[in-house]
Amino acid sequence: MRILIVLTSHSQLGNTGKKTGFWFEEFAAPYYIFRNSGAELTLASPNGGLPPVDPRSERPEMQTEAAIRFLADRYAQAELANTRTLSSISVSDYDAVFYPGGHGLLWDLANDPHSITMIETLFYTGRPVALVCHGAGALRYTRAANGRPLVAGKSVTGFSNAEEAAMELTEVVPFLVEDILRNNGGNYSKHDKWQPYAVSDGDLITGQNPASSDAVANALVERLRISRASGKRAHGGPR
């Protein structure tokens, strides 16, 4: 199975003068879960090359086992430093896509036409789309085949308004993930702040916050295994 991981290229936290990017734990933990499952991974970002890491996610108190392992893994670091440009990706090559979060995504991937088309194409063809935390913001402008928002009527979660308020970024971000999921007709649910919580609705898998990254990654791997066992071949086609 082949999984595409899409990361933000945006590094500026609005007009604050502070840096942002992707949240390291939300990438590192799923990266190893996917590798341990035997998946072939491709990393991509809008601009290609080394995507920016949110410096807050690199603080000592944020370092998880997966993050520490990644920092000592030269192969993994080389992959991250050489992400492909998103525009060069052919959707037909992948069985699933995964979006780590981080505030940067709200400025670029949420509006990126390549990202929007890719998510829609994968979903239309029965291939899983998994997103964690702010990653769910990439669903903002995606549409289902009937023209309605892709999340309409689907069970979803994502970074909560309460969590954004706790980070004191409610007035900084271009939109609130919880709000857009609700406004687009999603059946949004959440747990308490910073608690692991993941929701699966068919081929759409979402997680609330950084603590949910393991659950989302494991759910994606399980979904791919079920698809394979049920007779689907790679890329959503029948045997």
Which pTM was predicted?
Answer: 0.95
Average pLDDT of the segment spanning 214-220 = 98
Q: Work out the average pLDDT over 57-71.
A: 90
- Reported confidence tier of residue 231, pLDDT bands at 50, 70, 90: low
> CATH number of the domain that 121 lies in?
3.40.50.880
Give the pLDDT of residue 229.
Answer: 84
Dihedral-angle region of residue 145 (phi above 0 means left; psi in -120 to 50 means alpha; beta otherwise): alpha
What's the domain count of the chain?
1
Residue 233 confidence class, pLDDT cut points 50, 70, 90: very low
235: pLDDT strictly greater than 70: no
Q: Assess whether pLDDT exceeds 60 at residue 68.
A: yes
pLDDT: which is higher, 238 or 160: 160
Give yes or no for residue 98 having a pLDDT over 80: yes
Mean confidence (pLDDT) of the chain: 95
Asked if pLDDT for residue 238 goes beyond 70, the answer is no
Tokens of 35: 């590798």
> Is 239 a residue whose pLDDT tops 60?
no
pLDDT at 42 over 50: yes
Residue 173 pLDDT more than 90?
yes
Rounded Cα–Cα distance for residues 64 and 24 (Å) = 10
- In this predicted model, what pLDDT tens digit does every residue of 195-212 receive, in sequence order? 999 999 999 999 999 999
If DSSP states are collapsed to H, E and C, what string results for 140-193? CCCECCCCCECCCCCEECCCCHHHHHHCCCCCCCCCCHHHHHHHCCCEECCCCC
Instruction: Name the residue range of residue 228's domain.
Output: 2-236
- Encode pLDDT of 1-19 as tens digits: 999 999 999 999 999 999 9
Give me the mean pLDDT over the 72-83 stretch. Answer: 97
Q: Which amino acid is at 14?
A: G
Q: What is the DSSP letter of 37?
A: T
What's residue 63's pLDDT? 84
Token pair in block for residue 71: 């920092």
